[in-house]
């Protein structure tokens, strides 16, 4: 009888340990996914700011791929690339 109880207890310990390990793995995966998403969003914003800034500075009026006044409406976005701004 004690052997069966011991086996049940050891199975319960193994199940609890496996559940804890699974929770840790899920938390780590969620944190990694959130970090990757944040990095991608920041990279996209920086690329858009640089492209819009370069477009406004260097393209002739009639040859612009897109006409925008973003730097005038959102000047705080362009402080991160001050060397691209018009003097």
Q: What local confidence, expressed as pLDDT, does residue 1 receive?
A: 46
Q: Rounded to whole angstroms, what are the CA distances from 11 to 15, 16, 17?
A: 6, 9, 10
Give per-10-residue mean pLDDT for the chain (87 aa). 68 90 97 98 91 70 55 55 51
Find the Cα–Cα–Cα–Cα dihedral 67, 68, 72, 75, rounded to 10°: -130
Domain range spanning residue 78?
Answer: 2-84
Structurally, the chain folds into a number of domains equal to 1
Q: What local confidence, expressed as pLDDT, does residue 22 receive?
A: 96
Q: What local confidence, expressed as pLDDT, does residue 60 receive?
A: 60
Q: What is the pTM of this model?
A: 0.53
Q: What local confidence, expressed as pLDDT, does residue 41 receive?
A: 96
């Amino acid at each position: 009888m004690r052997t069966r109880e011991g086996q049940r207890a050891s199975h319960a310990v193994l199940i609890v340990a496996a559940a804890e390990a699974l929770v840790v793995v899920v938390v780590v995966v969620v944190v990694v996914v959130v970090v990757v998403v944040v990095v991608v969003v920041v990279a996209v914003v920086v690329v858009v700011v640089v492209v819009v800034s370069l477009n406004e500075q260097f393209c002739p009026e009639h040859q612009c791929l897109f006409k925008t006044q973003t730097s005038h409406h959102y000047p705080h976005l362009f402080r991160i690339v001050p060397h691209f701004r018009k003097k």
